[in-house]
Structure 1
Amino acid sequence: MPESRHTKELPVSLLTDSEMIDACRVRDFARVFRLVKARAGIYPSMIARQCELTPSRVGEVIAGQRQLLHMDVIERIADGLRIPGHMLGLSRRGWETPAALAVSEREPVHPPAGPGPLAALPGVEVDSILAMAAGTNPSPSTLQALRSSIEDYWRRDDEHGGETLRPAVVGQLRYVEGLLKDRRPTPIQHGLYGVAAELARLTGWTYFDARQYHQARAYFSEALQLAREIDDHPFMANVLACMSLQATYQDKPADALALVSAAQDQARAGTTPRVRAMLAMREAFAHATLGDRKATHTAISEAHSQFERIHEGDPDPAWVTYFDEPKLIVDTGIAHGRLGEAAIAEPLIADALAREDPANQRGRAFHAFWLARTQLQRGKLDQACHTAMEALVPAAAVSSERVTGHLREFYEQLAPYREVPAAVAFEARLRATLPPPVQRTPSSIRT
C-alpha cells in the first residue's frame, strides 16, 4: 500500500469487540464492512479507496452478493483498514510496528573457515605489523594486561553494548593468535590460549547481542577449540552455556537443552558451586522454553541448592563472578516468567532489579522489560507501562538488538490497550526516546 495514502485507523474499542473479532476470524467481510461503517464512520466509498477496491465491489460484499477469498485482497483490507494481521489469520503486518522498533537485517559477514583454532582471520598485514611491534616475549605481566583488558571490555559491554568494541576485541584476538604461533614456556602458552579463548567468546557474545547468530556461533566454536587445546573444561562449559542461551533466543529449545547438558558434562569435575548454579539456571531456561514445568522447577531448585554451597575463597573463574545473588534471583524470576508464572516471577524480578548495579545498563533494561511483561500479564497495565518507560532510559543508552527485541515483545503485548492512557503515554515516550532505525541495504523488517 503506498506510504502517501492516508489511512484512518479503527478504534481499539472496535478491534477488541467480540463481534468484530468473530467476523474477522471467519473472514465475513460483509459484517466487517458494516461494523467499520457503523463504529468507525468509514463509509463504503472510503473502504474502497483505502483497500484498493472498487465501490461496486464493496457494495456487493456488504449486500452478501460477493465473497472475498483471494489472499492479496485480504491483505489489502488488513493494511487499508489497519486490522491487525492475526485477526484475519495473517502474519503480523509491517505497519503494526512503529519505526523505532523496526529492525533492519544486516548483510551477513561470515568469518572465514579454517582447519583449527588458529586459522588466520582477515588482515594478515595487521598481524605482521603487530608481530613486529611486539618485539619482546610475552611475560606473566603481559597476560595480566590482556586479562585486564578483557575485564574492561566486559564492563563497557554491559554499559554500552559490544558492537563498537568488536573491532578492538577482534584485533586483540588476532594479536594473541599471532603470539601462539611460536613455542613458549608452558605457563605462558596456556595463559595465551586462555586469553584467546576468552576473546573469541567475547566476540561471539557481541555478535549474539546483535542477533547475528551465524557469526556468534562461529566465534563460540573457535573459543571451544582454543579451550580444548589446554583442557579447560570449565571454560568449555561456559561457552556451551552461552550457546545454549543463544538457542533459547533462536526459539530452538531442544538445542538449548542439548548444549547446556553438554556444558554440565564438561563441568562435572573441578568446577565450583557458583559455576554449577549458573549452569543449572541455564538448564532451567531451556526447560522453560520447552514448557516443561516440572523440569524447570527442578533445575531452579538445583541452582539455588548449588548457590547455597558457595563459600568465600572458592576458586571461581573470573567469567562466572557476575552470577551473584541478584542475578540468581532475577534469572529465577525470568525462568518462571517463561513458564507464564507471572505471579511468582514479578516479585523476584522486582527485588533483583532494585539491587542491580546501575552501571549495567543492558541488564537493567532487560530485567525492567521482563518486569513490565509480568506486570502486564497480571493485569497491572498502568504499572507495567510505568516500568517500561523507566526501562527506556537504559535501553537508549546501550546498543543491543537483544534489548530492542525485549522492547518489541512488550510493545506487542500492549496491542489490546493501544488507546488506554498509560499505553498512549508509553508510546509517546518511546518515540521521543529511541531514534528511528538506521536503514541498511538490503533491509527487511524482522518481527
Structure 2
Amino acid sequence: MITGAAAPFHCPGLCGRSMNGKSRVEKLAVFEQIADAFHILGHLLGLARRSWEPAPAVAEHQWADHPPPDGDDLVAMDHFRSADRQAGGGRLYGAVVRHLSDRVAPRLVDVSSGPRVFAAAAALTEMAGWMAHDSGHDDRAAQHFARALPLARTSGDLPLAAHVAASSSHLALQIGDAAGAVGWARTGLDLTAQGPRIPALTARLNTMRARALAVAAQLTPAARALDAARRDLEGVAAADHPWLSPFDAAAPASESALILRDLEQYDQALTHAEQAVALREAGRARSLALSRITLVDIHVRRGDLDAAVSAGHDLLSTSPTLSSVRVVQQLDELRRLLEPHRSYGPVREYLVRFDDARRARMLLLADLIPPSPGGATA
C-alpha cells in the first residue's frame, strides 16, 4: 500500500475482518458463486483462476513488469458493475478495494502511466463508494467519493468528475443533507459546462437537484429542475463514456417517481413508478427491489391499500439473497409506513409474510449487518 497523496484506498471493516472456519468457507463459496454467475475473473475477487477462464497471457509474478493496460481496468469495472447490479455491493466491496490497492494504486506513482490511470482510479473509487453505501457504511462511502473527485480532476476527465459530484449529491440526500445535495448537484453541473456535453449526465445532475429541492419543499425550483432533466434526455442519443454508469430510461423514471412523491403529486408519481418497475424487470435485482419499494410506498400514500399489498407481494419475491443493506433499510422504512394500517386485514396478513421474509433475509446478511445494541439483529 502506498501512502500520502497517492494512497486513496484502504480497507477497514468489511474486508479487514478475519474469516475463520465455517464462516470463511461459506463466504468463499459465495464469492465463487458470484464469480461463476457473472464471469468475473477469479483474481478480481481474490480467488484462484476459475475453470472457464482462458489461460493468462502474463503470469502473476510478471505483473509488476507488465502492468495492465487501461482496457483491463475497463473490463474489471464492467465485471464488478454487472455483478453489483444483480448481487448487491455488500459482498463485492472488499474485492473492489483490493483491486484498487493491488492493481491500480501502484500505477499512480509510475510516471509512465499517464493520466488515464487516474481516471481508472477515480471511477473504481467512486464504485467502491457506492458499494460502501450499499453496505450501510455511508461515512466510508463519503470518504471514497471525496477521494475520487481529485483523482478525476487530475485525469482531466471533467465528465467523470461531474459524475462523482452526482454520486456525492445522492449520498448527501440519503443522509438527510438536502442543502449539501443541491450544492453537489450544482458543482457537477458547473463541471459539465466546462467539458463535453453528455445529456445523460446533465440529466442525472438535474434529477438529483430536483430530488433535493423536493425534499426541502422547494416545489417550484424542484419542478423546474425536473423539467430540465427531461429536456436533457429528449431526442438525444446517449453519449458513450467509458467510466460513467448509464443513466438509462429506468433511472429517470425511478427518480421522477420519488420527486413527484415528495411533491405529493401521487398520481403522476405512480405512473413513473410503474414504468420504472416494468423497465427493471429484465434485470438489475437491486434496482428492481428499490423500484418496487417506491411503488408500494406511493400506493400507500394514495390510500390504495389493496394495490399496495398486491405490489408488496411482488416485492417480497425480489432476490432474497441480494446483499444490499440499503434495500433492507428501505424495506424497514416501508414497514413503518404500513404499520398504521395494520387494522386492515390484507395489510395485517401481508405484514406477517413481510416479517418472515425479513428474518430470512437478515440471516443471509448476518455477516454484513452488525448486531444492534442488546444483542438483537438489526
Q: Post-superposition shift, 1:120?
A: 6.5
TM-score (norm. length: structure 1)? 0.67
> 1:116 matched to which residue of 2?
5
Q: Structure 2: how far apart are the matches of 1:403 and 1:122?
A: 23
Q: Report if aligned partners of 1:131, 1:178 keep a CA contact under 8 Å in 2.
A: no
TM-score (norm. length: structure 2) = 0.79
What does residue 360 of structure 1 align with?
Answer: 284
Contact 1:201–1:223 (8 Å) recurs in 2: yes
One-letter code of the match for 1:215? Answer: R
Give the 5 Å matches for 1:28-67: none
1:137 aligned onto 2:66: yes
- Structure-2 separation of matches of 1:121 and 1:405: 25
Match in the other structure for 2:181: 256
Greater Rg, structure 1 or structure 2?
1
Aligned equivalents of 1:113 and 1:135: distance in 2?
15
Work out the CA distance in 1 between the residues paired with 2:318 and 2:233. Answer: 29
What residue ranges of structure 1 are gaps of 5+ in the alignment?
Answer: 1-111, 124-129
Secondary structure of the corresponding residue to residue 358 of structure 1? coil
Higher RCO structure, 1 or 2 (CA under 8 Å, sep 6+): 1
Q: How far 1:119 sits from its partner (Å)? A: 4.9
- Provide structure 2 residue ranges, at least 5 long, that are not aligned to the other structure: 13-58
Cα distance change on mapping 1:441 and 1:266 into 2, 3 Å = same
Read off the aligned partner of 2:220 and give its amino acid letter.
Answer: K
Between the aligned partners of 1:333 and 1:430, the Cα distance in structure 2 is: 23
- Distance (Å, rounded) in 2 between the aligned partners of 1:179 and 1:214: 27
Equivalent-residue separation in structure 2 for 1:247 and 1:422 (angstroms): 36
Q: Any residues of structure 2 matched to 1:46-445 within 5 Å, and which?
A: 115-119=4-8, 121=10, 133-138=62-67, 142-174=69-101, 175-184=103-112, 188-269=113-194, 270-311=196-237, 314-321=239-246, 323-394=247-318, 396-435=320-359, 437=362, 438=366, 440=370, 443=373
Counterparts of 1:407 and 1:261, CA distance in 2: 31
| SS of the residue 1:397 aligns to | coil
Using a 3 Å threshold, how does the CA distance of structure 1 residues 394 and 262 change in structure 2: closer, same or farther?
A: same
Q: Which whole-Å CA distance do the structure 2 matches of 1:220 and 1:324 have between them?
A: 22
Structure 1 residue 317: Cα displacement: 4.4
| 1:254, distance to aligned residue in structure 2 (A) | 0.6
TM-fit CA distance, 1:305: 0.6
Structure 1 position 276, deviation (Å): 1.0
In structure 2, how many angstroms separate the alpha carbons of the residues matched to 1:417 and 1:352? 26
Q: CA–CA distance in 2 between the matches of 1:173 and 1:357?
A: 32
Distance 1:315 1:154, change over 3 A: closer
Deviation at 1:406, TM superposition (A): 1.7
Q: CA deviation at 1:395?
A: 5.4
CA distance in 2, matches of 1:210, 1:405: 10
SS in structure 1 of the partner of residue 114 of structure 2:
helix
Distance 1:245 1:395 in 2: 24
Give the match's secondary structure for 1:364: helix
Alignment partners' CA distance in 2, 1:207 and 1:224: 16
The letter for the 1-side match of 2:66 is N
Name the SS for the 1:116 alignment partner: helix
Give the superposition deviation at 1:425: 2.4
**Cα distance, 1:315 vs structure 2:** 3.9
Instruction: Report the AA paired with residue 209 of structure 1.
Output: D
1:309 to partner: Cα distance: 4.6
Whichever residue aligns with residue 182 of structure 1, its letter is: D
Contact 1:131 1:179 in 2 (8 A): no
Aligned length: 324
Deviation at 1:294, TM superposition (A): 0.5
Q: Counterpart in 2 of 1:21?
A: none
- Report what 1:27 is aligned to: none
- Distance in 2 separating the partners of 1:237 and 1:286: 17
- Match in the other structure for 2:55: none
CA distance in 1, matches of 2:251, 2:164: 18
The letter of the residue matching 1:403 is V
- Tell me how large the CA RMSD over aligned residues is: 2.6
Cα separation, 2, equivalents of 1:132 and 1:229: 30
Change in Cα spacing, 1:293 to 1:114, as seen in structure 2 (3 Å) is farther
2:8–2:147 contact (8 Å) kept in structure 1 = no
Distance verdict in 2 for CA 1:425–1:358, change over 3 Å: farther
| Maintained 8 Å contact 1:273/1:309 | no
